[in-house]
Amino acid sequence: MMQLYYAASSPYVRKVMVVAHHLGVADKIELLTAAASPVKRDRNIAQFNPLAKVPSAKTDDGQMLYDSRVICEYLDAQSNAGLFPAAGRARWTALVQQALGDGLLDAALLVRYERMVRPAECRWQDWDDGQMSKIDDCLNEIEAQAATLGTHTFTIGEVTIGCALGYLDFRYAELAWRDKHPEAAAWFAVFAQNPAMLATAPKG
């Protein structure tokens, strides 16, 4: 059984679990609670992932896997499900869409750390503004691609973009991102109803 160090609120963990649920292997993963933090490293994770970040996984044959991109591709390879197309334009499209969703998440998490973890007297508004600008640009690109995104048949690209938009709902509801991105909102309204997305919706 694979072991997965996780945090329930992590969008990268959600990405792994969406893949696991979609592939029907979620019940074959043992979830190990972790306390990953940008300022206080979890030594339990650091024993086999020097980054001490979630998600981090250990396969049933003892191989260590990190980060979400690697774990997701590993799960897909075991099932041969095609979330990661094998070659050609479809593969590069899926990987670039994954990078787009991950990039949005990177920026959103950096802003959250700046606002919630860094002491108020040390915060840097230009940093906050720069990361929020990345989020805006990512949303604009998702809007431009929305008509091409799959809903019931999809790749790791759609999974990652879906988890990114879900994280904005979870942590940045005040952005009201749907107001300026109606095509992305329409796509997400359907994609978010996939059983794997519903099973992994963040709470709290």
Per-residue confidence (pLDDT) for residue 204, from 0 to 100: 64
- The neighbouring-strand residues paired with 2 are 29
Query: pLDDT per position in the chain (204 positions), as tens?
Result: 999 999 989 999 999 999 999 999 999 999 998 887 788 888 888 888 999 899 999 999 999 999 999 999 999 999 989 999 999 999 999 999 999 999 999 999 999 999 999 999 999 999 999 999 999 999 999 999 999 999 999 999 999 999 999 999 999 999 999 999 999 999 999 999 999 999 999 986
Q: Which domains does the chain have, with CATH numbers?
A: 2-79 (3.40.30.10), 88-198 (1.20.1050.10)
**Cβ burial, residue 1 (10 Å; 0-12/13-18/19+):** exposed
Cβ count within 10 A of residue 167: 23
Per-residue confidence (pLDDT) for residue 34, from 0 to 100: 86
Interstrand relation of 29-33 and 2-6 (parallel, antiparallel or unpaired):
parallel
Per-residue confidence (pLDDT) for residue 86, from 0 to 100: 95
d(C-alpha 4, C-alpha 70), whole Å: 13
